[in-house]
Amino acid sequence: MTATARTEACLGQIAARDAELGAFLHVATDAALARAAALDAQTTPPGPLHGLPIAVKDNIAVAGQPLTAGSRMLAGYLPPRDATVVARLLAAGAVLVGKTNLDEFGMGSSTERSGFGPTRNPLDPARVPGGSSGGSAAAVAADMAWAALGTDTGGSIRQPAAFCGLAGLKPTYGRVSRSGVVAYASSLDQVGPLARTVRDVARVYAVLAGADPLDATSADVPVTPVQWREDLAGLRIGVAREHLDAAEGLDPAIHARITAALAALQARGATIVPVTLPHTRHGIAAYYLVATAEASANLSRYDGLRYGQRTDRPPTLDALYTRSRGEALGDEVQRRILLGTFALSAGFQDAFYLKACRVRRKIAEDFQTAWHVCDLLLGPTSPVAPWLLGEKVTDPLAMYLMDAFTVGPSLAGLPALSVPVGVDAQRLPIGAQLIGRPFDEATLLAVGDVLQRAFATEAA
């Protein structure tokens, strides 16, 4: 199949479905077709992603295409350079079809908090696609792209992948460059792929992974190729009681599918090991303090001065700042900036920000303890199935709790992969989260592939 044919197929799907779904903020029709034509005419050896149409979350810079991060603050902003991950996709022969919708600056779990309207779940348009990489997930689930880049700060790749029946990988912190990626929380943010299969996720991941001289937090750790497996003899899979049997508010249907997933892996030779992650219940609190504290500084650059929206005729500099930010930043973003500013402020920093960072270490240590007895962990990605649009948007706190299982690996900087493991009674997809040791994406992907194929067989 030619690059042009693949690209035209995706653009056709976008034309047919995106008015309803709202997955894209920018469709690069002309650029994508020109690129595909060039790739089809190419005589040099094809790259690993030759001719594959990929969508890019709109908090990742593509030179010359608008970059909004889902915020009205950045409406009209054109970045001068490609993000490192985009440069790597292009070097690998990918075709970039457009920029996908997200919760503003990545702050949300449903893509209802985009400054440009929500994205809907292609599997049930009355429901949310998850977030914040909801546009990327919807784009792949509706065949508007072969794969998509998302970013994950506390679950923003894994949860939308689960909600849209896809595989989605959040790599180890430092595995993939953040250069050119609009920062939400710098010590948590990672870029990763969403695709229909774990194998496709692995194919994109192999292109993205590796140290980048433009990102001081990117790690110079060799990227090992995935050894695909058929049986899992000798593999120890940990199950944290806090993520399953003792999990609060876990949908019974999800509990059942995860149990089935464990049985499937056991049937292929894996040993199931019960473990405990005692600080799971503190994850959300630690996560929100760390993430909002960092965000409060990261979002200070949106001051209406060098780029972005500026309020009309501000009389003073202070009015320029407060009105531009007040008018152009959404409620949830302002709420998180206020929380983060508070958490860092004099007199409260020790009790909130630093306390959260100390608890963060305890959470990381929980995982380190688990690695003594198991090679990876398995549990649900989300405690609930995709909810209806508008169902939770009025209660930010309830929405925060949806991240209960995903924030732990984020705080610990661990790789985590969501794998589709079937559907519930309403045909809504369910995802299993595999959590791996630092920089051991290879094991995660190999096991995720076995798991996905086990359920494909079962479904067939």
Partner 1 sequence: MTSFEAVIGLEVHAQLLTASKIFCSCAVSVGGEPNTRTCPVCLGLPGALPVLNAEVVRLAVRAGLGTGCAIQPTSVFARKNYFYPDLPKGYQITQAELPICLDGQLTLDDGKVARIQRIHLEEDAGKSIHGDSGTRVDLNRAGTPLVEIVGHPDLRSADEAVAYLRELRGILVTLGVCDGNMEEGSLRCDANVSVRPLGQDAFGTRVEIKNMNSFRSVRDAIGYEIDRQVGLIADGARVVQETRLWNMDLARTESMRSKEEAADYRYFPDPDLPPLHLDPAWLAAQRADLPELPAARKARYQQALALDARTAAWLVEEPARAVAFDQAVAEAPALAAPFAAFLMTQVQAQLQRSARPWPELAAAMPALLATCGKWRGGQLSNKMLTELLQAAFADPARTLADALAHAAAQAGAVVSDDGALEPVLDGVLAQFPAEVAKYQAGQRQLTGFFVGQVMRALGGKADAKAITALLARKLGG
Partner 2 sequence: MAVRVDAAMVRQVAKLAKLSVAEADLPTVARELERVLALVAVLDEVDVTGVAPLIHPHAHGLQPRPDVVHAGLTQAQALANAPAQLDGCFLTPRVVG
Residues forming beta bridges with residue 57, ordered by sequence position: 100
Return the one option of partner 1, partner 2, none that residue 180 interacts with (CB less than 5 to 8 A, by type).
partner 1
218 is catalytic: no
- CA dist 326 and 324 (Å) reads 6
By the rule CB under 8 A, 61 interacts with partner 1: yes
Tell the smallest beta-carbon distance from residue 157 to partner 1 (Å): 17
Could you say which of partner 2, partner 1, none residue 31 binds, taking C-beta under 5 to 8 angstroms by partner kind? none
Of the CA atoms within 13 Å of residue 415, those in its CB half-sphere come to 27
Please report, as a single letter, which amino acid is at residue 315: P
Whether 433 contacts 417, CB under 8 Å: yes
Cβ closest to partner 2, residue 301 vs residue 427: 301
Given the residues 156, 177, 179, 418, the one annotated as active site: 156
436, with CB counted inside 10 A (0-12, 13-18, 19+), is buried
Name the token pair of 400.
């925060």
Selected range binding partner 1 among 35-43, 74-82, 119-127, 377-385, rule: CB under 8 A: 74-82
Residues 292-321, interacting with partner 1 (CB under 8 A): 293-294, 296-297, 299-301, 303, 305-307, 317, 321
* Residue 222 per-residue DSSP state: P
Residue 4 or 410 with smaller CB distance to partner 2: 410
Q: Which of residues 387-426 bind partner 2 (CB under 8 A)?
A: 396-397, 400, 411-413
Distance CA 272, CA 302 (A): 48
* Cβ at position 344, least distance to partner 2 in Å: 9
Q: Does 328 bind partner 1 (CB under 8 A)?
A: no
Residues linked to residue 54 through DSSP beta bridges, in sequence order: 96, 147
Active site residue 132: yes
> Which of partner 1, partner 2, none lies near 60, with the C-beta cut-off 5 to 8 A by kind?
partner 1
- Tell me how far, at minimum, the Cβ of 326 lies from partner 2, in Å: 4
* Tokens 């990626």 found at: 181
211 binds partner 1 (CB under 8 A): no
Alpha-carbon distance of 443 to 416, in angstroms, equals 11
Contacts of 317 (CB under 8 A, 6+ apart): none
Q: Does residue 80 bind partner 1 (CB under 8 A)?
A: yes
Q: Of partner 1, partner 2, none, which one sits near residue 24, judging by CB under 5 to 8 A according to partner kind?
A: none
What's the CA gap between 323 and 443, in Å, rounded? Answer: 49
Q: CB–CB of 31/65 below 8 Å?
A: yes
**Nearest distance from C-beta of residue 233 to partner 1, angstroms:** 38
3-state secondary structure 365-432: HHHHHHCCCCCEEEEECCCCCCCECCCCCCCHHHHHHHHCCCHHHHHHCCCEEEEEEEECCCCCEEEE
User: Taking CB under 8 A as the criterion, which residues in 66-125 touch partner 2?
Assistant: 76-78, 80
Question: Which residues have a catalytic role annotated?
Answer: 57, 132, 156
Binding footprint of partner 1 on the chain (CB under 8 A): 59-61, 67, 69, 74, 77, 79-81, 83, 178-183, 185-187, 213-217, 293-294, 296-297, 299-301, 303, 305-307, 317, 321, 341, 344-346, 349, 353
